[in-house]
Amino acid sequence: MKPSFEKYIPFNQIDIPDRTWPNKTITKAPIWCSVDLRDGNQALVDPMNLEEKLEFFHALCDMGFKEIEIGFPSASETEYEICRELIEKNHIPDDVTIQVLVQAREHLIRKTFDAVKGAKNVIIHFYNSTSTLQRKVVFKTDMAGVTDIAVKGAKLIKQLTDEYSGDTNIRFEYSPESFSGTEMDNAVDICNKVMEALGSDKENPVILNLPNTVEMCTPNTYADQIEYFIRHLKNREAAIISVHPHNDRGCGVAAGELSLLAGAERVEGTLFGNGERTGNMDIVTMGLNMFTQGVDPKLDFSNLPKLREIYERCTNMKIDPRQPYIGELVFTAFSGSHQDAINKGMQYMKESGTDMWEIPYLPIDPADVGREYEPIIRINSQSGKGGAAFVMSNNFGYDLPKRMHPEFSKLVQKKCEELGRELIPKELFDVFVKNYLEHKQKYSLTSRKIYEESENGKDYVHFKGKMTIDGGDSVILRGVGNGPIDAFFNAIKAVGLDKYEFISYSQHAISQGSDSKAVSYIELKMPNGKNIFGIGVDSNVNVASVLGVLNAINRAEA
């Protein structure tokens, strides 16, 4: 028995050795046409009702879509009524063209013209399937038969347009459905004949929509098909070349992008890729891909969370956490090396003052799509040293010194392993508080006084205070040094704490205004040769340093 993969027929490649599209770059946005309310809607388990369609339509208008396919008004009374509601209740902005889909069949075409009466701008989008497989197993006819259907439909549409008495600006769109599964010469021929029947010219071009109805080949082959088609079309200037990629192979966006390189001028798709089977091409992803290359997509993606909320509520579909640009986790880094690079990128942008976006692992500024920075770094047992430090700085204002990162990271990873999951920022901060700010105090200062004194031209710092050990009687502390930390060290040596060595010190403010406090990070070497950090917080920076020393010793002797 043959392996099951051998039952599939490889896709035929296009003979176009001098193809030009690989050397081109996308430099401007195409004409966008949303098909959410038709192609997207028909793929829903529960299609949108009137109120949901109206809300979705207005959201698309607010984004900047100028062409919106609103439905298939000849297919059902519901679709017809929605079309009439949009027109009669003046929902359609003057600069927006509604598009209606219809099969190339006479009674459906006539009903479609009735449905759009009174609209200002309309695209009549008619189609019939032309693919080799559909002709063979569905229609059981030859190419001449399907061409005849398309031409008769085109002639009727032209006739009804010429007879139309209203002020509606009517344009035409023809789709040889399953274009990508049609022999290219046959696709060119049927479109040439449709253009002739419509009387298309440079002033009144027809939209020739070339659907990748079922994605059967790699995106480069689809681009070859588009370039071949354009080269062989008789009256190229009388046509706007449109594409409608589906996503059966998971390459819908790539197919859309490469088709623009091949000469397409217009793209049909849906928000977040909703549609039959694996969906349509995702306009959000394709548009923001342009955005990240410095190309204006001519659509407003500045509030993706709002669009997501409307989309999920109206369609009852859920967006995957890894969906580009909008998924919950797409601006999240768990990996330690990723977290460290993002943290350094943030610091670089702050320090350099650059206007350009230069953050490793983040191809777009989350703020540009209405997202926030908080979720960028999330902490689990696989997170690295820089991740926890980033959250402490970004969320809570504690800039842990780099030498402290490994120590704090181990505490965080231990907590993650204990819980068996990631930590939210508050839980991470709780680890910090428990292990540093609220650590059990074997040694506790009950009073302290720090003051400066000059003698013989030299400045000295004095420390005086009292300390309890394990809650017992107070011990008097006195010490003099060249600074508050040195003075405190000399004071505690007198009571037997003489085995610790000072290594490093850093500090910064953690609040502003009258309640401003300072935090000091103190690194000591313990008697066993290992280093440990302590933290002190106080409104007086000198006191914060002293508390940091004592905190490190308390942690060392816990």
Q: What is the DSSP string of 423-464?
A: BPHHHHHHHHIIIIIT---SEEEEEEEEEEEEETTEEEEEEE
Instruction: Compute the distance between CA of residue 168 and CA of residue 87 in angstroms, rounded to an integer.
Output: 11
DSSP secondary structure string for all residues of 251-277: -HHHHHHHHHHTT--EEEEBGGG-SST
Is 30-305's fold the same as 443-556's? no
Rg (CA), the chain: 35
Paired with 451 in beta bridges are: 462
CA distance between the termini of the chain:
71
Backbone angles phi, psi at 394, to 5 degrees: -70, -35
AA letter at 404: M
Per-residue pLDDT tens, the chain, 558 aa: give them: 567 888 888 888 999 999 999 999 999 999 999 999 999 999 999 999 999 999 999 999 999 999 999 999 999 999 999 999 999 999 999 999 999 999 999 999 999 999 999 999 999 999 998 877 777 666 667 888 889 999 999 999 999 999 987 789 999 999 999 999 899 999 999 999 999 999 999 999 999 999 999 999 999 999 999 999 999 999 999 999 999 999 999 999 999 999 999 999 999 999 999 999 999 999 999 999 999 999 999 999 999 999 999 999 999 999 999 999 999 889 887 777 887 888 888 889 989 999 999 999 999 999 999 987 655 666 666 666 677 888 888 888 899 998 999 999 899 988 988 888 888 888 999 999 999 998 888 888 888 899 888 877 788 899 999 989 888 888 899 988 888 898 998 888 878 888 888 999 899 988 755 577 899 999 999 999 999 999 999 988 889 998 999 999 999 987
Instruction: Tell me if 268 sits within 8 A of 282, measured CB to CB.
Output: no
Determine the 3-state secondary structure of 236 from DSSP: helix
Q: Can you give the pLDDT at residue 557?
A: 86
Work out the burial of residue 101: count CB atoms within 10 Å of its CB; fewer than 13 is exposed, 13-18 middle, 19 or more buried.
buried
- 34-45 as b/e, with b when 16 or more CB fall inside 10 Å? bbbbbbbbbbee
Q: Which CATH number fits domain 30-305: 3.40.50.300, 1.10.10.10, 3.40.50.11740, 3.20.20.70?
A: 3.20.20.70
Q: Can you give the pLDDT at residue 105?
A: 93
AA letter at 126: F
Instruction: Compute the distance between CA of residue 393 and CA of residue 407 in angstroms, rounded to an integer.
Output: 16
Q: Can you give the pLDDT at residue 344?
A: 87
Instruction: Tell me if 42 sits within 8 A of 78, measured CB to CB.
Output: no
- 61-95 as b/e, with b when 16 or more CB fall inside 10 Å? bebebbbbbbbbbbbeeebbebbbebbeeebbeee
Instruction: Compute the distance between CA of residue 499 and CA of residue 525 in angstroms, rounded to an integer.
Output: 9
Length of the chain: 558
Assigned token pair, 172: 């035409």
Instruction: Compute the distance between CA of residue 489 and CA of residue 492 in angstroms, rounded to an integer.
Output: 5
AA letter at 149: I
Instruction: Tell me if 515 sits within 8 A of 536, measured CB to CB.
Output: no
Give the strand pairing for 458-469 and 67-71. unpaired
Q: Can you give the pLDDT at residue 383?
A: 67
Instruction: Compute the distance between CA of residue 493 and CA of residue 551 in angstroms, rounded to an integer.
Output: 16
Q: Can you give the pLDDT at residue 138?
A: 64
Instruction: Compute the distance between CA of residue 332 and CA of residue 323 in angstroms, rounded to an integer.
Output: 12
In Å, how far are 337, 356, 374, 382 from 344, measured between CA atoms?
A: 11, 15, 16, 19
pTM score of the predicted model: 0.78
Paired with 280 in beta bridges are: 246
In Å, how far are 59, 69, 117, 121, 257 from 112, measured between CA atoms?
A: 25, 13, 9, 14, 32
Determine the 3-state secondary structure of 195 from DSSP: helix
Q: Can you give the pLDDT at residue 133?
A: 72
Q: Can you give the pLDDT at residue 374?
A: 54
Where do the domains of the chain lie? 30-305, 336-433, 443-556
- CATH 3.30.160.270 assigned to 443-556: yes
In Å, how far are 74, 118, 124, 149 from 114, measured between CA atoms?
A: 9, 9, 12, 21
Instruction: Compute the distance between CA of residue 177 and CA of residue 64 in angstroms, rounded to an integer.
Output: 27
Helix (H) or strand (E) holding 122: strand 121-129
Instruction: Compute the distance between CA of residue 249 and CA of residue 256 in angstroms, rounded to an integer.
Output: 13
Instruction: Compute the distance between CA of residue 492 and CA of residue 19 in angstroms, rounded to an integer.
Output: 81
Question: Helix crossing, 425-432 with 405-419: angle to 10°?
Answer: 120
Instruction: Tell me if 214 sits within 8 A of 236, measured CB to CB.
Output: no
How much of the chain is in helix, strand and coil states, percent to nearest 5?
45, 20, 35
